[in-house]
A and B are shown apart, each in its own frame.
Chain A
């Protein structure tokens, strides 16, 4: 027998391959199980939905209703403004919290645990659920949406901010301390300049996410373009839906482009 010229992969590679293989098998088994147990609608129902809607949908999508444009434009700007305020609110609140949750500034890891737990807790609640609660508690409108986004963004931004703080170079901190600087000077001249560009970049990234989120918050009455869109979807006014979708897509893509360009310059 001709000996194989390709050497056997080393043990750690084989372990990874085994792990990935097991993962793949588990994935397939779960997929089949899910397909078998899902409560599927009857085919007749789906078929009737499709035959009733697909042709009008395609018809409407290629003929966006121009008369809806002013409404779409206005509600998308409101959506945009909601995202701006929600993101700023989240950033302002996350800033102090992130220092409490960073393990390298205030007396080490154990002291950061409560802050970290708080951030994880906040992040678990989807903003749409928070929006429902704010709408129930404070009435419908953009304010509910802004607060929901702000609260939810704290979790994301606080986590990233604290990761950035934990990753700073200890050199400047020690240098300022060695030169006799107190905690405030260390914070202002060693920590803040190091973390600011990363913070700004992540706030922009969150803004991209929040703009998409703000576009659906209206579905629960929390302001923005979601409500007019949902109404037109329910009445199957596809040409108007098409115009609203076009404006959303144009806005989101433009903001993404500008934001990612600025982010590339920041970091």
Chain B
């Protein structure tokens, strides 16, 4: 027989408000501790100065004040701006056409054999870990400055972005239709065309549009390393301290980027 609780002693914790289990609590404390330790180490190793955050912010905004657009720069903006969009677009199309077969090679349910699947996955992982601007710098050195290295860079970058998203979608496709077609004697290609593709087409198209949006933003800055487009003009103007010209370029570029973005987002919303 348990002894009755004497009057006046505090009742045990209300049953309605259980504490999370000890392991979960320890884990979240551990997580916080790791983040805090990382922050301290990073703070010291980069000589980051929190005070400079405020002076830097002040400088930043006063700098923005000097960006009052000089609209006469508009005359020279259009050609590089169109080139920027061309780079983004051609890069997306080429990247997509390389990515699609690779996606099916790298997905467990549509792969040819385990070895080519592993190779495709390793290739895609490496492609994905290299940022867009690095690709551009590499190809500017390798080919020649201009739109071409920009296009090649975005092609590689798109393959990385799309393959990751795409193979997750392909692998989560309903296996029923695949098995049905295989049972009826269809080969790998027909299984992909008739069982997998109809299931993933809408999502995949939406991912393609999404990587186009990423590429439009990326193509704006590719010119910083000599890979064509508006970035090149922007970089020259910056180096000449022509801040009002920079202001005009930035303003127009972002209106155009937002407009392209809006069209793409609208198309995506129609798809899913």
A: which residues have CB within 8 A of B? 16, 19-20, 23, 27, 30-31, 34-35, 37-41, 45-46, 49-50, 53-54, 57, 77-78, 80-82, 84-85, 88-89, 120, 124-126, 128-129, 132-134, 136-138, 141-144, 146-147, 200, 212-213, 215-216, 219-220, 223, 226, 229-230, 233-234, 236, 245, 248-249, 252-253, 256
Whether B48 sits at the interface, judged by CB under 8 Å, is yes
Q: Which chain B residues lie closer than 8 Å to A82 at the CB level? A: 42, 46
CB-contact partner of B129 in A16, A134, A200, A253, under 8 A: A253
User: Are A219 and B56 also in contact (CB < 8 A) when A20-B205, A57-B142 are?
Assistant: no
Distance in angstroms between the alpha carbons of A211 and B210 in the assembled complex: 21
Main secondary structure of the interface of A (DSSP, over half): helix
Whether B90 sits at the interface, judged by CB under 8 Å, is yes
Contact A234 B141 (CB under 8 A): yes
Question: B192 CB to closest chain A CB, in angstroms?
Answer: 18
**Can you pick out 13 interface pairs between chain A and chain B where the beta carbons lie within 8 Å of each other?**
A16-B202, A35-B90, A38-B83, A38-B90, A40-B147, A41-B143, A49-B144, A84-B39, A129-B221, A133-B60, A142-B46, A147-B53, A200-B31
Distance in angstroms between the alpha carbons of A30 and B143 in the assembled complex: 25
Contact B42 A81 (CB under 8 A): yes
Stretch from B98-106, B112-120, B177-185, B250-258 forming part of the interface with A? B250-258
Contact B59 A137 (CB under 8 A): yes
Whether B238 sits at the interface, judged by CB under 8 Å, is yes
Distance in angstroms between the alpha carbons of A49 and B149 in the assembled complex: 11
Q: Which chain A residues lie closer than 8 Å to B63 at the CB level? A: 133, 136-137
B: which residues have CB within 8 A of A? 31, 35, 38-39, 41-43, 45-49, 52-53, 55-57, 59-60, 62-64, 82-83, 86-87, 89-90, 93, 125-126, 129-134, 137-138, 141-144, 146-148, 151, 201-202, 205, 217-218, 220-221, 224-225, 228, 234, 238, 250, 254, 257-258, 267, 270-271
User: Are A126 and B125 also in contact (CB < 8 A) when A34-B86, A85-B46 are?
Assistant: no
User: Are A216 and B138 also in contact (CB < 8 A) when A137-B60, A138-B59 are?
Assistant: no
Contact A50 B38 (CB under 8 A): no
Question: B228 CB to closest chain A CB, in angstroms?
Answer: 8
User: Are A124 and B224 also in contact (CB < 8 A) when A27-B93, A53-B142, A77-B45 are?
Assistant: no
Contact A31 B60 (CB under 8 A): no
* Chain A residue with the shortest CB-CB distance to B228: A39
Distance in angstroms between the alpha carbons of A230 and B147 in the assembled complex: 19
Distance in angstroms between the alpha carbons of A63 and B93 in the assembled complex: 33
Q: A84-B38, A124-B258 are in contact. List 12 more A-B contacts (CB 8 A).
A: A16-B270, A23-B205, A31-B90, A34-B86, A38-B86, A38-B90, A41-B146, A81-B42, A133-B60, A212-B129, A233-B138, A253-B125
**9 tightest A-B CB contacts, nearest first:** A81-B42, A137-B59, A252-B129, A142-B46, A216-B133, A212-B131, A84-B42, A138-B56, A34-B86
Contact B39 A256 (CB under 8 A): no
Contact B93 A19 (CB under 8 A): no
Contact B52 A41 (CB under 8 A): no
Distance in angstroms between the alpha carbons of A245 and B137 in the assembled complex: 12
User: Are A256 and B86 also in contact (CB < 8 A) when A138-B55, A143-B47, A216-B134 are?
Assistant: no
Q: Which chain B residues lie closer than 8 Å to A34 at the CB level? A: 86, 89-90
Q: Which chain B residues lie closer than 8 Å to A35 at the CB level? A: 90
User: Are A248 and B144 also in contact (CB < 8 A) when A137-B63, A143-B47, A147-B53 are?
Assistant: no
Contact A248 B56 (CB under 8 A): no
Distance in angstroms between the alpha carbons of A124 and B46 in the assembled complex: 27
Q: Which chain A residues lie closer than 8 Å to B148 at the CB level? A: 40-41, 46
Contact B137 A219 (CB under 8 A): yes
Distance in angstroms between the alpha carbons of A80 and B43 in the assembled complex: 11
Q: Which chain B residues lie closer than 8 Å to A20 at the CB level? A: 201, 205, 271
Q: Which chain A residues lie closer than 8 Å to B41 at the CB level? A: 81
Question: A124 CB to closest chain B CB, in angstroms?
Answer: 5
